[in-house]
Structure 1
């Protein structure tokens, strides 16, 4: 990601606090995630000050010898690995270093991977090795940085918290977490990050059209349609003029009109639609929203930054139930019916729900277990 974009996201994170104060004037003092991270802070302070723990990081783990270490293989780094995992609480201190990488040590590495947002395959590769080499003193600084972000963040009794580097959405009612689900966020690799802000979700749109943003049309879709004209019909695209008129014929003239801004591309509602069956709208300057997606296979990935900035949700029906305040007239069968059949329909929420998009690379739901996540947008490095 380019430095200027990183700086904009960092500034956005600071403005988020100010915006939250404007949007949510009757706010509590602390977020429910704060207590767990404060306990983790105290724990890592002890680790960072313990000479025996420090000694486990005095020398780096040796090279793997191959691209990765798989179960059943020997490795010169096993004694150091055992000491580190025991110090971090992922492995019992009573476990002696084995001759080969196997058994409880593989299980401990898998637990470590889960806490660090890595693929939980028990295989030690480049990313897992890098995370294992981070000493507690650096993790302590990471906790301090994220706790500072949480301390400054007010919250409303009912709100949605979108944590970008964790790829997780949480829904809160008071101090209680009511819902948690996987999400997909803006891509760091393609330099389309999800911006950080606070806005209010105001309505749902069932069976939405996907109005292709001009940047995506220009850089991706128009070139694709010129290479593969059949894609236009196969994926249910059409042109529209912004005044209700739809054109279902693909021509070079119409593609040129899209590039000049006279026409726009959109995808009709249905099983091919990129937004799936439902869109969650919280109007903002960046035109970011949450939505369902037909590409559900991507939720199985550990790292889930694949979008152009919008937020794809794994459990759209559960999220709809929450933001509709569990309205009995909008039960699961009715929501599914609205997503799968009928016309495009906008449903106003009974009351706006604040959406807080944050950047926390350290989270402790359980006071005894802190999770760290890769700094995908490079924001921790700027602090």
Structure 2
């Protein structure tokens, strides 16, 4: 199954219904009927209301000349024919731009380090708007053009919630730093009352809770709930990281949600009946079964280091699983890390189960200075044999890509307990490989859990092909709205939100000129 669309099944059905039902309904002049007898039509009023509501989707109404349109459409005197024609072109262009922004997004994902291909032309904004006006379905058609994802709907609600918090008195001043830089349960804290009011405003503490002179009891539980929603260790200790998150303004959270809504417009999610999604800033993998309405599997993951080996963002089909895999050490890692280590500590070679491999595929089991020199020249490569020390663990999930990224297990299991898990060279380590293998292989009944475990522990490399390719999306979202109604925020570990924010501001600046009519 190839990923050729950009929306889930629900969005495709809704869009198809509109496009098929309204095909050929556009007016002969190619525009929408915005005026009747010299006055704005009901559809013109709907269009203006839609453009004015752009902030609800994290869009900027200034991009669509909303103020000018509101003045022109609200003029008391009837418009001349020329004025109507000019205003109709401007309104059509603004609506077309809005529909395009809502459906496709405003930014080419490749401009912000996301290797998602541009979507196919499943919606033409000009004909889509004209058809919706002609059939009196404009509001419904516009909503159908937005991502039909529960997460998108949840984030729209979260955006409204955090905008309402912008003027809340409990969020106007930063909390004071605790004495000694850290606040532990049972300690005195001068800002306890302010902390309680802030947690109550954010929904992490009951509204009637009050803070006394000490930091204890319900207030500690409120901090733990807050920490859990912000990717922090829920230990109830208010250290530097927790204080930074507590003092983050509603305006910053609003922008974070707006950026995530933009990403959702071009991040391909729920495209097939089944798929795997890794959210990098959250350090979490979810496996989805669309027909069952949500994630069937969730586990912690380890992703690429933010400093120098970031995990790339893309979508590819998983095709194979390799049990008891070899690890072919990438040349960059071999030259920068493995060879220097082996020169210092030759015993590392046998301890880690390493061997050399020639360009012809011949195994060279002996460690020597000459062989290490050959690796540095690119004449030999180093690989690690299957076994308990193998860096890939006992299973590897393969979805061919130019970055040589894959999912795999690891012998360093304790690392999954860390709160921040950008620790790899770029590949994604999974916490529960057996559960993931069962999900991937559920259509191949012969692969029982016991057979999976046996293959993983055999010590002999064995690759199988999946009966059906399984989409894998490596995504980047720093905000998640979950089914429990709570909003979860994560650090922008790769700086991708900052990059997207800059790109959007540049785009908005360039759009200050009036939109051209189609």
Q: TM (normalized to structure 1)? A: 0.91
Does the C-alpha gap of structure 1 residues 209 and 330 become closer, same or farther in structure 2, counting only changes over 3 Å?
Answer: same
Unaligned runs of at least 5 residues, structure 2: 1-107, 122-145, 502-518
Aligned match for 1:12, one of 110, 113, 128? 113
> What's the counterpart of residue 156 of structure 1?
272
Greater shift after overlay, 191-200 or 34-43? 34-43
Asked whether the equivalents of residues 35 and 367 of structure 1 are also in contact (C-alpha less than 8 Å), the reply is no
C-alpha displacement of 1:42: 2.4
8 A contact 1:74–1:100 mirrored in 2: yes
| Structure-1 separation of matches of 2:184 and 2:473 | 40
| Separation (CA, whole Å) in 2 of partners of 1:300 and 1:327 | 32
Per-residue CA distance 1:332-376 (angstroms, 9 max, x = gap):
100000000152111101111111111100001225200000110
Aligned residue for 2:212, secondary structure, equals coil
Aligned ranges 1:299-314 → 2 under 5 Å: 299-314=416-431
Asked whether the equivalents of residues 36 and 367 of structure 1 are also in contact (C-alpha less than 8 Å), the reply is no
Aligned residues: 365
Corresponding position: 1:135 with 2:249: yes
Cα 1:344–1:32 change in 2 (3 A) is: farther
8 Å contact from structure 1 (residues 165, 359) kept in 2 = yes
Q: 1:351 to 1:326 in 2, by over 3 A?
A: closer
Structure 1 residue 17: deviation in Å?
5.2
Q: Please tell me whether residue 279 in structure 1 is matched to residue 379 in structure 2.
A: no
Question: Which structure has the larger Rg over C-alpha atoms?
Answer: 2
* Alignment match, 1:176: 294
Question: Are residue 320 (structure 1) and residue 420 (structure 2) matched?
Answer: no
What are the equivalent positions in structure 2 for 1:343-358 lying under 5 Å apart? 343-358=460-475
Instruction: Give the 4+ runs in structure 1 shifted more than 6 A.
Output: none
Which is strand-richer, 1 or 2?
A: 1
Please give the residue correspondences for 1:1-383 in structure 2 after superposition, counting only pairs within 5 Å.
Answer: 11-13=112-114, 15-16=115-116, 18=118, 29-48=147-166, 51=167, 53=168, 55-154=169-268, 155-174=271-290, 175-189=293-307, 191-341=308-458, 343-366=460-483, 368-382=485-499, 383=501
Provide the C-alpha distance between the structure 1 equivalents of 2:407 and 2:476, rounded to a whole number of angstroms. 17
Task: Check the 8 A contact 1:115/1:370 in 2, yes or no.
Answer: yes
Counterpart CA distance in 2 for 1:284 and 1:207 is 21
Change (3 A) 1:106 1:253: same
Secondary structure of the structure 2 residue equivalent to 1:73? coil
> 2:111, 2:413 → 1: CA distance?
30
Alpha-carbon contact 1:325-1:350 (below 8 Å) kept? no
**Matched-pair contact (CA < 8 Å) for 2:267–2:475:** no
TM-score (norm 2): 0.68
Question: Which protein is richer in helix relative to its size?
Answer: 2
